Structure 1
Amino acid sequence: MSKVAVIGAGSWGTALSIVLSDNGHDVRLWTHRKEQADMINNQHVNENYLKVNLPENIKAYDDLHSAIDDVKAIILVVPTKAIREVSQQLNRLLKKKITIIHATKGIEPESLKRVSQMISEELDSYSYEDIVVLSGPSHAEEVGKRLPTTVTVSSLDSSNAKLAQDLFINESFRVYTSPDVVGIELGGALKNIIALGAGISDGLGYGDNAKAALITRGLAEITRLGTSLGANPLTFLGLPGVGDLIVTCTSVHSRNWRAGNLLGKGHKLDEVLDQMGMVVEGVRTAKAAYQFAEDQEIEMPITAGIYQILFENKYPREVVEQLMSRNKREEMDDLAELIGGNYSK
């Protein structure tokens, strides 16, 4: 089978390494921490991130050059804030063009650049069309236990998407392909904002009615912003859209839901992030989406409310009251957005 490098040994990178290992690939898992690499190689666990036993054919490296030597594909699974730095390192090390797949769900503040755009800007030999994205409803904890999971891969180069599909697909990890890179990436990133909101709602004790409304209205916001950037609205009705939205908004496995839950219970953002101990992508994404929506005059009231809680110290209950007292409107105007119709406010 193939030699594959997974760059990023967090929970999701570790889970994807297990999938690749089950498919018989020679997996090189890179971390910048030597002690973590030693633990994976000697004890076959990555206990700070994923509490499962790891297959012995997953080999950890703390040297990036060694990790990517003679591999067929690179899977980038580092936090959004590290994408440019790691891509710059890869740019210096890569001697030939190989398939690059990313599985990071986030966008860059200020620019609203998607991860595939960030990667291609830092790699001299790659264009945006070369990059593959993997996304969908997929908690690392469940993937690591080989529970049934379904995701989507997308690239403007269909041969690269097919290669990614072949690398990952097996009896517990089903992989679809899609040509809508914009929609796949934005669905995976923007749902984290709504998951923060779902956690806040649960932290406030508002119940299932409120959360169902939040998820549904959140989908309208995701679609509104996504289609403004060229996404196919139907993508948001698929796995990387409503599928990922449901799983991230309703599970204790979701770090964005957990962070929101703590916020809803009255904890401050700095305290929450310290307690989480892992990256909460929805925080950065909320800032990026809010700024872009303001600049482009795109209506995203839930995102705006979450931004106010995160960065303006507004009380969650006050934001809920603000959302519930908005002007009356016709729901069908919003539902039309899901099929590319009327975008009136």
Structure 2
Amino acid sequence: MISVLGAGAFGTAVAVSLARNGGSVQLWAHDPAHVEALRQARENVLRLPGVPLPDNVEPIERLDDVPPEAVILLAVPMQTLRHLLQDNAEHFLARTLVACCKGMDLKTHVGPVQTISDCVPTAMPAILTGPSFAADIAHGLPTALTLACRDERVGKALQQSLTTPNLRIYRTTDTIGAELGGALKNVIAIACGVVIGARLGDSARAALMTRGYAEMQRMALRLGAKPETLAGLSGFGDLALTCTSEGSRNFRFGLSLGQGEPFDTDVTVEGAATARAALARARELGIEMPITGAVTALLDGQVDVRQAMDMLLSRPLKDE
């Protein structure tokens, strides 16, 4: 049994993909009205329209209905993860909890794996991350993800249970690299969206991606990540996808900023909070992260797009 907590687009897509393996899958949402809509329509009309829920996907609204043996996937936004864990801690004791969100907590400046460990010390934390769009997964298109778990035995079991006909899962024990790669690339995606929205060109985007990758490595390696993790799916792979496709919410958000247009406030943009959290953490560690700083200043209205670009272009010349 697999229980997916969070019936947004990604949680629904993963539930649909896992159900194709033939086992029972639960899909939990905190809003009873949303759960009832899923039951009636057998489709997530709000977040993932046009994708039928297989018969073996059961929408639920009570965490009491999650059986003790179930693997739990936490497909909720990063900024709500801590509240979910703290408010329902009794349901998560000594469980295997797999985070499916990407970001850094705005208050604590840590990622989802550390958040799970902080809130539920008896749980076994893991993270499922990498270059993936919900629609691709839901429609059965081939997708490769990274499963990171410190316990190699648990990681191998999760790799087997979460692999589906269209989801290929690679495994690592480097949870730090996996969670930071997924979090920090969203900040760079916002910056790349701004560049394209402001018509600064593909050459500028390529430069931002390259120097943004250097920033990602700078923080992740300082915190104990392995360089090969950042060079893999959860780092470079996810960076390539989110910085080059309008399927990325973070890229679309940056695109709107660069064009000076409003953005749909109902759409979750994890990179905005992560930029602020990452910059605060970088200052604590004494790490230079100029692109993250420029994105944060832009988000906070301290600079406009041209000034943000000038901040980066006027930095002292240095070796690559």
1:25 corresponds in structure 2 to 23
Please tell me whether residue 230 in structure 1 is matched to residue 228 in structure 2: no
Cα deviation, 1:6-47, whole Å, max 9, x if unaligned, reads 000011111110121011121110001122111211211112
CA–CA distance in structure 1, aligned partners of residues 257 and 76 of structure 2: 25
Tell me how far apart the structure 2 counterparts of residues 69 and 189 of structure 1 sit (CA, whole Å).
30
Letter in 1 for 2:4: V
Partner of 1:108: 105
- 1:245-265, Cα deviation, whole Å (9 max, x unpaired): 011111111110111111111
Which residue of structure 2 aligns with residue 152 of structure 1?
146
- Alpha carbons 1:44, 1:54 under 8 Å: kept: yes
Q: Choose between structure 1 and 2: higher helix proportion.
A: 1
SS in 1 for 2:72: strand
Aligned residue number for residue 203 of structure 1: 197
| 1:271-286 map, 5 Å | 271-272=262-263, 275-286=264-275
- Aligned residue for 1:327, secondary structure, equals coil
How many angstroms apart in 1 are the aligned matches of 2:40 and 2:108? 42
Aligned twin of 2:319: 330
Q: Give deviations 1:94-136, integer Å, cap 9, x for gaps.
A: 5x6332211110111243212111112222523xxx2111111
Structure 2: segments with no counterpart, 5+ residues: none
SS of aligned partner of 2:43: coil
Structure 1 equivalent of residue 310 of structure 2: 321
Contact 1:198/1:215 (CA < 8 Å) preserved in 2? Answer: yes
* Partner of residue 280, structure 2: 291
Worse-matched range after superposition: 276-285 or 4-13: 276-285
Structure 1 Cα separation of the partners of residues 226 and 121 of structure 2: 29
Amino acid at match of 1:159: R
Kindly indicate whether residue 33 of structure 2 is the aligned counterpart of residue 44 of structure 1: no
Deviation sequence 1:181-238 (CA, Å, 0-9, x none):
1000000000000010011111101221111111111000000011111111221111
Residues 291-314 of structure 1, C-alpha deviations (whole Å, 9 max, x = no match): 111232211111110011001331
| Secondary structure in 1 matching 2:229 | helix
Alignment of 1:41-120 (within 5 A): 41-51=39-49, 52-66=51-65, 68-94=66-92, 97-120=94-117
- What residue identity is the alignment partner of 1:233? P
CA deviation string 1:127-181 (max 9, x = no partner):
xxx2111111011111111111000101111122112211121231100101111
* Match status 1:251 vs 2:249: no
Equivalent residue number for residue 139 of structure 1: 133
Q: Do 1:132 and 1:164's aligned partners in 2 also have CA atoms closer than 8 Å?
A: no
1:71 CA displacement: 4.1
Q: TM-score scaled to structure 2, two decimals?
A: 0.96
CA distance in 1, matches of 2:153, 2:84: 25
Asked if the contact 1:132/1:160 (under 8 Å) is kept, the reply is no
Tell me which residue corresponds to 1:191.
185
Stretch moving more, 301-310 or 56-65: 56-65
CA distance in structure 1 between the aligned counterparts of 2:10 and 2:303, rounded to whole angstroms: 32
SS of match in other structure, 2:260: coil
Distance apart, 1:70 and its partner CA: 3.9
Instruction: Report the identity percentage.
Output: 36
Indicate the SS of the match to 2:52. Answer: coil
Quote the Cα distance in structure 1 between the aligned partners of 2:136 and 2:98. Answer: 21
Return the offset for 1:84.
1.5
1:69 CA drift (Å)? 2.6
CA contact (8 A) 2:148 2:155 kept: yes
- The separation in 2 between residues aligned to 1:289 and 1:98, in whole angstroms, is 29
Q: Which amino acid aligns with 1:218?
A: G
Q: Evaluate the alpha carbon distance shift between residue 53 and residue 329 of structure 1 in structure 2; reply closer, same or farther with a 3 A threshold.
A: same
For 1:262 and 1:329, the matched residues in 2 are separated by 32
Structure 2 SS opposite 1:250: coil
4+ long deviations beyond 4 Å: none
C-alpha distance in 2 between matches for 1:173 and 1:148: 6
SS at match of 2:243: helix
Q: Does 1:179 align with 2:176?
A: no
Of 117, 122, 125, 2:119 maps to 122
